[in-house]
Structure 1
Amino acid sequence: MAGNPPSETQIRVNSRRAGGGGGGNVIHPVDIDTPPRSSPSPVVYREVKHFKKWLPWLIPSFIIANTVMLAITMYVNDCPKNSVSCIAGFLGRFSFQPFKENPLLGPSSATLQKMGGLEVSKVVHEHQGWRLITCNWLHAGVFHLLANMLSLLVIGIRLEQEFGFIRIGLLYVISGFGGSLLSALFIQLNISVGASGAVFGLLGGMLSEIITNWTIYSNKLAAFLTLMVIIVINLAVGLLPHVDNFAHIGGFLSGFLVGFVFLIRPQFGWVSQRYAPPRYSSTSAKPKFKMYQLILWVISLILLIVGLTVGLVMLLRGVDANDHCSWCHYLTCVPTARWSCNTEPAYCMSTQTGNQLNLTCSSNGKSSLYTLPDASDSQIQGLCSQLCS
């Protein structure tokens, strides 16, 4: 009817942006200019598909999978059978290695290697490239698992709610691979495990998401600075010994680039003209993405593909990145008077005479005699780790 006032369609955008733990960075609803009305008319709410909330299930599944993998690893480890002494012996074959060997309440290095931990020599010389992926699902102990899964819960749940399981799942896996790759190029003597590279990738994705979707933040600077503080603190922790900061850095850089590709969002001008009634839309058509978003998308995709490809080729050719960067080892550990950055694996000379096992540590020269008939290789390695620590 010509006498009836036009109906109004409003768009309700109910979305919170990840701001490094801050909960106050809320995107304002799309504003649509409407003419004055003489009488009330029905209001229709429509959810914009680009900003809808997703039900998170993938990140909780990742947490469960990592926990189950640690339980399986401890079952395979079977400390009472393969070690002289164990922690929490009442757990049976799930008991932990001695503190001197593994202070994180976990298995032996030999078990982690058997389960798929990242060992560069096996990737390069035995063509076991799958270790670059499997190592992300293993953890060195209970403390290690708790630290990573708590971070994953806090960061990942929110991202999956915002962007869905497909994009966040790809972000997680690609970041984990990137972290393993950089770690393998620089740390070639130790066995590396853990999901920290993938977790740092989520942090990197959050940072690039803030940058590429800058115009839709209600409190831009606060969100950016809060996230930067969290990133700097976490990277600073990686300067301590026995923490693989190269996996953190590789995962972060990979996630940062992936975020520009997967976490891009349309701007509100395009959303309003698409979902508002035609008579209220803007007279000039507005593009879905801003030019800077498209430029960042292209550059990031190229850098990601080139970076991962070049890194993988260098690794498979046996390149040691430390030969080309004499100071890079300081990125993962800074030596001080309180600790040493020497984390090379332990090697011992062993002699078995009847029930007596004599071990001599190659690095510090210490010797010890053990009453242990028919010692297995895993028992000798465990005792050697304790003797050399």
Structure 2
Amino acid sequence: MGNGDLERGGATKNRNQGYSQSYYAAAGGYDVEYSDSQWTSWLVPMIIVANVVIFIVIMLVNNCPKENNGVQGGCVAKFLGRFSFQPLRENPLFGPSSSTLEKMGALEWNKVVHGNEAWRLITCIWLHAGVIHLLANMLSLVFIGIRLEQQFGFVRVGVTYLLSGIGGSMLSCLFIQRSISVGASGALFGVLGAMLSELLANWTIYTNKVAALFTLLVIISINLAVGILPHVDNFAHIGGFLTGFLLGFILLLRPQFGWVERHRLPANNLKSKYTACQVILWIVATVLLIVWFTVGLVMLFKGENANEKCSWCHYLSCVPTSRWSCNN
């Protein structure tokens, strides 16, 4: 998954470029300042470290030389010993075998539904199919996750990341039931979705809002478009994005400083001053999120195939062309 930087402007005065801004309001003699850089990002770096460590463990368990002893072509980068990669014809992303990924917790519909292994909805978020897959996702997390954590703190970003990953796994399992799926892309798309809803919910405090919205929509569209290629689980992307989009309205609301200016209130009264529109969005998003997880989990554990209820939805994850087929 690839993405870029989104620059947001301050409401009245911007001291630092990008996400680090200060907002000022004259409030009864108080010079009110709100800084986006009030949090130190530690959770996102820890997530990145955890993903790298888990990938190393996966390669240790995979042990390509032992499993492929005597096979023509052999392992890639044999000088790495038991950490060498599977033959490229099997895994072109420089990673382990599918059987190793399945053993370590990859998402697999039959095991989740009939094997009482619902934990795979979470473990698959921390697994990656190869070095290329891992680097793409972790670089994306660096660009979007650290800055969001600086603005909103580790709790809200952590909840958004984890629930979005589960939402992506859930939709993936409902539509893809003949193969395994791994990766943090669903969680990353959730963070992108939360950024979009945060911008919409806090629209009035931003300058250059149209440019920011356009940039973010282009980034999201490009990443979703990549998902129609074969072997890319776009349902995890879509499920994660929708979950994160709803969570943004719930967790990432900001006080509206115009209210403070009108009522001449000091800074310590900022924390609960939201507009009626924000409150409505919070209520609607909360209801939809509960409905989404309830319906999705009920359908999943009843063993239903969502493709039977949506005959065209499979095109959202793969569009067949003369160069490739989506059947495999």
Q: Same-fold call, TM > 0.5?
A: yes
Following the alignment from structure 2 to structure 1, what is the Cα–Cα distance between the partners of residues 320 and 311?
15
User: Residues 314 and 155 from structure 1, CA distance in 2 versus in 1: closer, same or farther, beyond 3 angstroms?
Assistant: same
Following the alignment from structure 1 to structure 2, what is the Cα–Cα distance between the partners of residues 321 and 161?
38
Kept after mapping to 2: 8 A contact 1:112/1:140: yes
Q: 2:170: which partner in 1?
A: 181
User: Shift in Å at residue 131 of structure 1?
Assistant: 0.1
Which amino acid is the alignment partner of residue 10 of structure 2? Answer: V
Give secondary structure in 1 for the equivalent of 2:132. Answer: helix
Q: 1:144: which partner in 2?
A: 133
Which amino acid is the alignment partner of residue 97 of structure 1? Answer: Q
Give secondary structure in 2 for the equivalent of 1:31. Answer: strand
Q: 1:30: which partner in 2?
A: 24
Q: 1:310: which partner in 2?
A: 295
User: Shift in Å at residue 26 of structure 1?
Assistant: 2.6
User: Shift in Å at residue 276 of structure 1?
Assistant: 6.0
Give secondary structure in 2 for the equivalent of 1:66. Answer: helix
Instruction: Give runs of aligned pairs for residues 156-235 of structure 1, distance below 5 A.
Output: 156-235=145-224
Kept after mapping to 2: 8 A contact 1:183/1:250: yes
Following the alignment from structure 1 to structure 2, what is the Cα–Cα distance between the partners of residues 286 and 152?
28
User: Residues 309 and 152 from structure 1, CA distance in 2 versus in 1: closer, same or farther, beyond 3 angstroms?
Assistant: same
Structure 1 gap ranges (5+): 1-18, 36-43, 344-389
Structure 2 gap ranges (5+): 13-22
Give secondary structure in 2 for the equivalent of 1:27. Answer: coil
Q: Deviations over 1:141-191 (max 9, x none)?
A: 000001111111101011001000000000000000000000000001111
User: Shift in Å at residue 25 of structure 1?
Assistant: 2.1
Q: Does 1:60 align with 2:45?
A: yes
Following the alignment from structure 1 to structure 2, what is the Cα–Cα distance between the partners of residues 112 and 33?
57
Q: Deviations over 1:66-116 (max 9, x none)?
A: 011110000000001111210011101100000110000000010001100
Which amino acid is the alignment partner of residue 179 of structure 1? Answer: G
User: Residues 33 and 263 from structure 1, CA distance in 2 versus in 1: closer, same or farther, beyond 3 angstroms?
Assistant: closer
TM-score (norm 1): 0.76
User: Residues 46 and 25 from structure 1, CA distance in 2 versus in 1: closer, same or farther, beyond 3 angstroms?
Assistant: closer
- Of 102-111 and 26-35, more deviation after overlay is shown by 26-35
Following the alignment from structure 2 to structure 1, what is the Cα–Cα distance between the partners of residues 321 and 232?
15
Which amino acid is the alignment partner of residue 112 of structure 1? Answer: L
Instruction: Give runs of aligned pairs for residues 1-389 of structure 1, distance below 5 A.
Output: 21-23=5-7, 25-28=9-12, 29-32=23-26, 47-48=33-34, 51=36, 53-83=38-68, 84=71, 85-272=74-261, 273-275=264-266, 288-343=273-328
Kept after mapping to 2: 8 A contact 1:241/1:340: yes
User: Shift in Å at residue 286 of structure 1?
Assistant: 12
Q: Which runs of 4+ in 1 moved over 6 A?
A: none
Which one has the largest radius of gyration?
1
User: Residues 235 and 286 from structure 1, CA distance in 2 versus in 1: closer, same or farther, beyond 3 angstroms?
Assistant: closer
User: Residues 198 and 287 from structure 1, CA distance in 2 versus in 1: closer, same or farther, beyond 3 angstroms?
Assistant: closer
User: Shift in Å at residue 33 of structure 1?
Assistant: 7.1
Identity of aligned residues (%): 62
Q: Deviations over 1:186-228 (max 9, x none)?
A: 0011110000000000000000000100010011111111100
> More relative contact order in 1 or in 2 (CA 8 Å, sep 6+)?
2
Following the alignment from structure 1 to structure 2, what is the Cα–Cα distance between the partners of residues 191 and 276?
51
Q: What CA RMSD, in Å, does the superposition of the two structures yield over aligned residues?
A: 2.2
TM-score (norm 2): 0.90
